Amino acid sequence: MPFIVRPDLCVGCGKCERVCPNGAISVINKKAVINYARCECCGICATECPKNAIDFVPGRLIWGRGRGRGRGRGWAF
């Protein structure tokens, strides 16, 4: 799970939910929650978050058979 939401910084504005191309984020109780079954690690949410509340956690990414859209190899977690 290379992208994580920091609940201490998230203000529940919902921008990440709107920009995620995979519908992987839901704002629940004013905090963003990432559905890792849908997340493709594109990083758009982290870029767009006005509070920098979505962190990239390096080291957990695995280069291998991609999930998502079935296009062969890619970054997975």
Residues making contact with ligand SF4 (CB under 6 A)? 3, 5, 10-16, 20, 22, 24-25, 27, 32, 34, 39-45, 49, 51, 53-54
- 48 contact partners, CB below 8 Å, separation of at least 6: 15, 16, 19
Output the furthest CA–CA distance in the chain (Å, rounded): 36
Q: Which is nearer to ligand SF4, 11 or 61 (CB)?
A: 11
Bridge partners of residue 73, in order along the sequence: 65
The least CB distance from residue 56 to ligand SF4, in Å, is: 9
The least CB distance from residue 52 to ligand SF4, in Å, is: 8
The least CB distance from residue 71 to ligand SF4, in Å, is: 14
Phi first, then psi, for residue 66 (nearest 5°) are: -70, 150
